[in-house]
Structure 1
Amino acid sequence: MIEKQQSYKFKVYEKIKEDIITGVIHQGEILNERKLSEELGISRTPIREALQLLNRDGWVLIETYKGAVVRTFDMEYVEKVLKVRKSLEILAVEDATNNAAEADLKYLNSILDKQEKSIIDYNPTDFMILDRQFHEKIYELSKNEILISLLGNINDIIRFFGIKALREPERNKSTLQEHRNVLNSMIKKDINSAKQDMEYHMKQTSANIYNHNSKKNNIVGKH
């Protein structure tokens, strides 16, 4: 059941999105308004509004005669998402390098220290949570609300498609080093280097997700 508050549609939106990301709801599944209304214990109006939001953000498609259908995320779609993410991440770190105070840089460094510990303890779940915290702090430091909103949804899509790929121990080690390179450039206030380091990090992350899913699905294509 969903707690009855004014923000029904947003709570429904987050629940359905999380269920899609974690595989509770499957790609291609039809989302029935009446069934969701009964399961969540609320009226169909916020369900319908939530499905419209999910359609807007690329999680479902509204099809004639079928209604809301969970999008099938093929590699072509994900590659487009990854390209947009790379551009936004570079923009974010550019502004964040300008805006970061000493306390912000220390906070980012503490996240990376925790990431290093999670590698030693082999806790990939903690590593992924910390990975997101590192990037979200950079978004926050950009002070660009539009960028923050766009990257939030994009990274949910990446989490859906790359959640298994990001559990590989060797990739975690190289990710940590790439994060440290970004932070070191931010500490030096070297904007160009910070942008280059972030671009390299995004290219490596994209290649890892693509290669992992290509092998899993026997996808052949250029990257």
Structure 2
Amino acid sequence: QEGLVRIVPHKGIFINEMSLKEIPDLIQLRFCLELFAIREAISYITDNDIEGMSQIVDLQEQAMQECDMYEYMELDQRFHQKIFEIIGNDRMLRIMGNLSDQLVACGIRGLRKQERLVQVIIEHREVVRALSKRDANAAFEAVKLHLERVRCSLTDL
């Protein structure tokens, strides 16, 4: 649907590379969606949601320790998608899923450094901490900082 793959008859299926222009565009869209969603989530979030997000981060840390990058990235996507599930906006959830799919290959390249892997866990825990306090401003700032660091890790490739 978004041109992620191309089919060449008698040759196979090929993954299209992201252009240098597309990466910042997608990150900008992600900023808009996630910063809106995190503010909305404060009104809807339950203790079970917070526990679920915390468990995702724990599993992501375990995947990092086991050097399972596929699982690490899957859990990263689940963490961010959970915010959209909390606000109950299915359309935004689908858009975010599509956006995540487009950025995942870039994300893997952006996570080559061990310190970035660790930093993502710390940033996710900070988001959970702010949500658990029902502090909209702290949650917004935590997500904003996380996304700014994601942008840096992806544009420094």
Query: Structure 2 length as normaliser, TM-score?
Result: 0.87
Greater shift in the superposed pair: 174-183 or 137-146: 137-146
Matched, 1:133 2:73: no
CA contact (8 A) 1:82 1:206 kept: yes
Q: Of 130, 139, 144, which residue of structure 2 is paired with 1:194?
A: 139
The 1-side partners of 2:143 and 2:54 are apart by 16
Aligned-pair CA distance for 1:122: 2.2
Q: Of 37, 43, 55, which residue of structure 2 is paired with 1:110?
A: 55
Cα deviation code 1:167-195 (max 9, x no counterpart): 43211100000001111000000011101
CA contact (8 A) 1:98 1:191 kept: no
Query: Structure 1 length as normaliser, TM-score?
Result: 0.63
Map of 2:125 onto structure 1: 180
Aligned-pair CA distance for 1:114: 1.2
CA contact (8 A) 1:124 1:167 kept: no
CA contact (8 A) 1:109 1:183 kept: yes
Aligned AA for 2:84? Y
The 2-side partners of 1:113 and 1:160 are apart by 23
Q: Of 92, 96, 105, which residue of structure 2 is paired with 1:151?
A: 96
The 1-side partners of 2:49 and 2:24 are apart by 32
Aligned AA for 1:100? I
The answer to which structure, 1 or 2, has the higher relative contact order (CA under 8 A, 6+ apart) is 2
Aligned-pair CA distance for 1:166: 2.4
Number of residue pairs aligned between Structure 1 and Structure 2: 155
The 2-side partners of 1:172 and 1:150 are apart by 25
CA-atom RMSD, angstroms? 2.4
Greater shift in the superposed pair: 164-173 or 76-85: 164-173
Aligned-pair CA distance for 1:71: 5.8
Tell which structure's C-alpha radius of gyration is larger: 1
